[in-house]
Amino acid sequence: MLGWNHTTTRENTQNQIHVVHKPEGTVLVINLAIDYTHRGKENSVPNRQRILLVDDHEVVRLGLKSLLDRHPSFEVVAEASNAREAIEGVANHKPDVVVMDIRLPGGSGIEACEDISENYPDTKVIMLTSYAEDEMLFSAIRAGASGYVLKQIGGEDLVRAIEAVSRGEALLDPAVTQRIFQEVRKAAKEEEASAFSALTQQERHVLLLVSEGKTNREIAKALFLGEGTVRNYVSSILSKLGVSNRAEAAAYAVEHNLRDYL
């Protein structure tokens, strides 16, 4: 049977390091001793925030609990190791904030977040993950998460994240914020492109010339087409875009940046 050989402790003002010697090797357990006594009353939360911790690794939960228990305005009321226990924990303990790993056995943290957000809207959820994955990030936002932070976050930063979410604010880890802006820009581009999805490539060329104020004769000459063919194209364009005249078609083309999609 394996047992502990001996434990030594070294301390400094910043943290406490336990050096644990075991038969299979040496393990360092670092216990961050964050001092919250410097926080003034003006920065404290009036009521203690009740927190539920959800992670399938007990060591992670212990570390989080040790950190949060040091904060005078936090109270860890329960822990859970999977999605089912998380939902039950919220039902039984009515926490203010759930700090939950995004990957859980027996159902994902995303699914649990969606259930909690729908049935317990007063409980805020912070998703905790090891990786900044786009799919997970946007799934968490759609599921109703109030915060999304990476496990590499510092202790003080996690405390501030919980405080922010408790105040009703939404929070994203700085490491993933840029991804949000990129996705928004991408969605805007896709929306613009879809504005012309019903038009053929030739119709787009005709519309571009219409937007430049060209007459049917000028368009026919530029594209080596007959005037009658151009008239048919223009009629088709107006119908597909749901506009009544050339001026409206031209305005539509400019508004949706037609030139970018030729």
**Dist. CA 102–CA 111, nearest whole Å:** 9
**Dist. CA 173–CA 157, nearest whole Å:** 9
**CB 124 within 8 Å of CB 96:** yes
**pLDDT (average), residues 12-23:** 41
Instruction: Please give the mean pLDDT across all residues of the chain.
Output: 80
Q: pLDDT tens digit string along 57-86?
A: 999 999 999 999 999 999 999 999 999 999
Comparing 56 with 172, the larger pLDDT belongs to 56
Is the pLDDT score of 9 beyond 50?
Answer: no
Calculate what percentage of the chain has a pLDDT beyond 90. Answer: 48
Q: pLDDT tens digit string along 79-125?
A: 999 999 999 999 999 999 999 999 898 888 999 999 999 999 999 99
**CB 131 within 8 Å of CB 173:** no
Q: pLDDT tens digit string along 175-193?
A: 666 666 566 566 666 666 6
Q: Please give the pLDDT value at position 190.
A: 67
Vertex 117 angle, CA 112 and 119, to 5°: 95
Q: Please give the pLDDT value at position 231.
A: 95
Which residue has tokens 């749901």? 242
Please count the residues of the chain.
262
Which of 14-18, 29-33, 110-114: highest mean pLDDT? 110-114
Q: Identify the three-state secondary structure at position 57.
A: coil
Q: Please give the pLDDT value at position 191.
A: 66
Q: Identify the three-state secondary structure at position 251.
A: helix
**pLDDT (average), residues 235-246:** 94
pTM of the model: 0.54
Q: Please give the pLDDT value at position 134.
A: 67
**Dist. CA 54–CA 85, nearest whole Å:** 8
| Phi, psi of 102, rounded to the nearest 5 degrees | -75, -25
Q: Please give the pLDDT value at position 38.
A: 44
Q: Does an H or E element contain 182, and which?
A: helix 174-194
**CB 21 within 8 Å of CB 7:** yes
Beta bridge partners of 3: none
Confidence of residue 126 (pLDDT cuts 50, 70, 90): very high
